Amino acid sequence: MDRDHDLARARSLVAASSRPLALTGAGVSAESGVPTFRGADGLWRNHRPEELAHVDAFRRDPALVWEFYRWRRDRVRRCVPNAAHHALAAYGRARPGLVLVTQNVDGFHRAAGSPNVIELHGRLMIDRCLDCDFERDEDPHESGIPRCSACGAFLRPGVVWFGEPVTRIGDAFHAAAWADLVLVVGTSGVVEPAASIARVASRRGAAVIEVNVEPSALSSIADVTVLGRAAEVLPALLPNPA
Ligand code: OAD
């Protein structure tokens, strides 16, 4: 009953919006089978994400960090986008101005066909050189620590680590300042600067809808929190032109 009420309220905010922005996190891919970071199955061998997703960890023990990312890649390779990704892609077709800012590195928003995706935390399935600009697609059959074919330095996964500048942050904040609605989906809202994108938009007068299975650090700025799984809630919430 409460959820129906929240959903109806959220739907009316979506209908009233002409400049939407979506901010997504690991919860959007949870139903694809990709573990979240802070959920029960998110810990890898008892390491917190901050311990492995750091250049210092890589310099200290590149083999361990590669092992962690190869485990994540294996999981992602066995998964496909779910109804939440598809609902957001359809929303992007219904509202071509939609900007989708994601903290996810699995590439599922692009795979589902969302236009205008800003992948703040980079891409899991590419390798980048630690020292030069070299980039390549992953080689799923490789083991050990790969080396850059241009300069010989170690290759690392193409994700953004803690303490590193996120990708296209200027575009993301520009979209936040312009948006009249922010849809915050499946993120704990504890990692910056991603969380600030929603806060900035809210301060500039955008309505905030949150979709999450539980309240998060961003619930306090939400006009409405729809509690539920993204793959169930988003198809019910968002317009689909198909
Ligand atoms: P978290 O693991 O911190 O949070 C996932 C959120 O999704 C939680 O709030 C869950 O309640 C929610 N959730 C779980 N299942 C859901 C479902 N089916 N539907 C809707 N919501 C669901 O993941 P993020 O917020 O994405 O960064 O984490 C942010 C960043 O921290 C990540 O991008 C990563 C991590 O360390 C880096 O690696 C740099």
> Using a 6 Å CB cutoff, which residues line ligand 1?
25-27, 30-31, 36-39, 42, 49, 53, 103, 121, 160, 162, 186-188, 191, 211-214, 216, 229-230
Kindly list the catalytic residues: 121
Q: Say how far apart CA 53 and CA 69 lie, in whole Å.
A: 9
Atom of ligand 1 nearest to the CA of 38: 2
Structure-token pair, residue 41: 């199955």
Nearest to 130 by CA among 235, 52, 37, 59: 59
Query: How confident is the model at residue 84, as a pLDDT?
Result: 98
Split at pLDDT 50, 70, 90, the class of 1 is low
Q: Say how far apart CA 137 and CA 131 lie, in whole Å.
A: 17
Residues belonging to the chain:
242
Which residue's CA is the nearest one to ligand 1's atom 15?
27
Structure-token pair, residue 65: 């960090």
Residue 136's Cβ-side half-sphere holds a number of Cα atoms within 13 Å equal to 15
Sign of the Cα torsion 170, 214, 218, 185 reads positive
Question: pLDDT tens for residues 192-213?
Answer: 999 999 999 999 999 999 999 9
Q: Say how far apart CA 226 and CA 95 lie, in whole Å.
A: 21
Using the CB atoms, write b or e for 99-134: b if 16+ within 10 Å: bbbbbbbbbbbbebebebbbbbbbbbbbbbbbeeee
Question: pLDDT tens for residues 63-86?
Answer: 999 999 999 999 999 999 999 999
Query: How confident is the model at residue 95, as a pLDDT?
Result: 94
Omega of the bond prior to 146 within 30 degrees of 0, cis? no
Question: pLDDT tens for residues 7-35?
Answer: 999 999 999 999 999 999 999 999 999 98
